[in-house]
Amino acid sequence: KTVGIALATISSLFFLSTIFSTDGSASFWGSSARMDGLFTLLHFFAFFIILASLFDKRAFRRCMQISVVAGAFAALYALAQWFNAPLIVTSRGEVFGTLGNPSYLALYLLFTIFLAHYLAQNEKRREVAIILYCAVAIQTIALLLTQVQAAPCALAVGAVVAAYPYIR
């Protein structure tokens, strides 16, 4: 339910930004390289609705857990790039994981960081929650190593939003 509300909110904000943008066509369709337009986001939202309606709560939670594990592996690969591990493709000072672009990796890690936090907050077993927070720590380090300037800002804003129920 919370993830659905968050996706509906961001979809609404993207819709408003598309309406009030200087180039509505570019905002709606996005670029072919990034696929970042409202059209793509609405498809992701529809895909989420389909998944949420087809899976029961337990299966959907399992899917989220698999996503967090994949994010942890992406972060570990990025750390291996940072330390110039053998057999790992590296670059000059920035990590990009297997996605080939630091910005894409940062965006992906932002999603999995907050997904892991959400799962940890709702986890009854303390050991599993600790493992999830370790995944958050590894992914946060990898996020910072991408050297994408907007990533720490997005992480800070997301942390404030995640802390809101506790501040209230």
Round to whole Å and give the CA distance between 97 and 116.
19
Given this model, what pLDDT does residue 75 score? 95
pLDDT for 134: 97
* Separation CA 158–CA 160 (nearest Å): 5
Task: State residue 52 phi and psi, 5-degree precision.
Answer: -65, -30
Interhelix angle 38-54/2-19, nearest 10 degrees:
160
Average pLDDT over residues 149-157: 93
pLDDT for res 144: 94
C-beta atoms surrounding 114 within 10 Å: 20
**DSSP summary character for residue 22:** S
Segment 49-77 shows an average pLDDT of 88
- Taking residues 124-137, what's their average pLDDT? 96
Tens of pLDDT, residues 9-60:
888 988 898 899 898 888 888 876 666 788 888 888 888 888 777 778 888 8
How would you classify residue 84: left for phi > 0, otherwise alpha for psi between -120 and 50, otherwise beta?
left
Task: Say which residue, 4 or 140, is predicted with more confidence.
Answer: 140
Residue 101: pLDDT band (50, 70, 90) is confident
More reliable by pLDDT, 124 or 33: 124
CB atoms within 10 A of CB 92: 4
Q: What are the distances in angstroms from CA 86 to CA 34, 42, 81, 82, 89?
A: 30, 41, 9, 11, 8
Residue type, 19: I
